Amino acid sequence: MNTGINEPTAKYLPDQIVLLGDSIFDNAPYVSAGESVSEQLASLIQTKDSTTSQVELLAVDGHVLADVPRQIALACSKTHFNLQCAYLSFGGNDLLSYAVSGLLEVKAKNVGDALDSLHQVREQFRQNYQHVLALAGRKFPKLTVCTVYDGIPTLSNAERISLGIFNEVILREATKRRFPVLDLRIICNEPDDYAPASPIEPSKKGAGKIAQAIFNQYTQRKNDFLGV
């Protein structure tokens, strides 16, 4: 007698949202319990999603692009899930590392020299970001990338302009690979979207807006996947 299960095994597998990045997603230290991006996202899933979906937080506060391979290595294979969607948010700490190294304070004789310096920074970031997208794209076919928000109240003019250059790279490289983009510059566009404890991190409100944007995009992807 044939005792095999005819229905697709995938029907019984859970769905998963993987969060890769830095403190934009791993912002629990800067808000109260239950207010971080991952916690608010899990709450949305629990109350509004009728299927079994998991949130896997692999993002780590302080990580830069060079840390992405370690995060990706910790993720389970997509074969363990019915649908696995990943979200990548990096760039802010890379800019901070340039600022700390003094690169943004280098004296320039004229605007042209300053732009040449920024060009070098941009191309170095591009090379690193291309490598990250290649790794992440192979692991997560359903990958969404995020821009770096620039509404931080304490951001200097030089840092804001530099973020614009980083975001140009993110948008161009994501578009070339046809990865969807969540533009955090639009999502976190108010001063109280940033945490009082550390203005470069999302507040409860900002984290809620990011979580809602991820949930909305994830829900649409799931509906497309199911043919709804």
Is 103 a residue whose pLDDT tops 80? no
Q: What is the pLDDT of residue 1?
A: 42
Q: What is the pLDDT of residue 51?
A: 67
Cα separation, 86 vs 224, whole angstroms: 16
Instruction: Give how far Cα 224 sits from Cα of 82, 87, 172, 177, Å.
Output: 13, 17, 25, 19
Is 106 a residue whose pLDDT tops 70? no
HEC string of 73-98 equals HHCCCHHHCCEEEEEEECCHHHHHHH
Is 7 a residue whose pLDDT tops 60? no
Q: How many CB atoms lie within 10 A of CB 34?
A: 11
* Residue 220 parent element (H or E): helix 204-226
Cα separation, 195 vs 197, whole angstroms: 5
CATH architecture type of domain 14-226: 3-Layer(aba) Sandwich (3.40)
Q: What is the pLDDT of residue 124?
A: 87
Is 4 a residue whose pLDDT tops 60? no
Eight-state DSSP code of residue 188: S
Residue-wise pLDDT tens digits, 42-77 = 999 998 876 689 999 999 999 999 999 999 999 999
Q: What is the pLDDT of residue 102?
A: 44
Is 115 a residue whose pLDDT tops 70? no
Is 14 a residue whose pLDDT tops 60? yes
Q: How many CB atoms lie within 10 A of CB 199?
A: 14
Is 105 a residue whose pLDDT tops 70? no
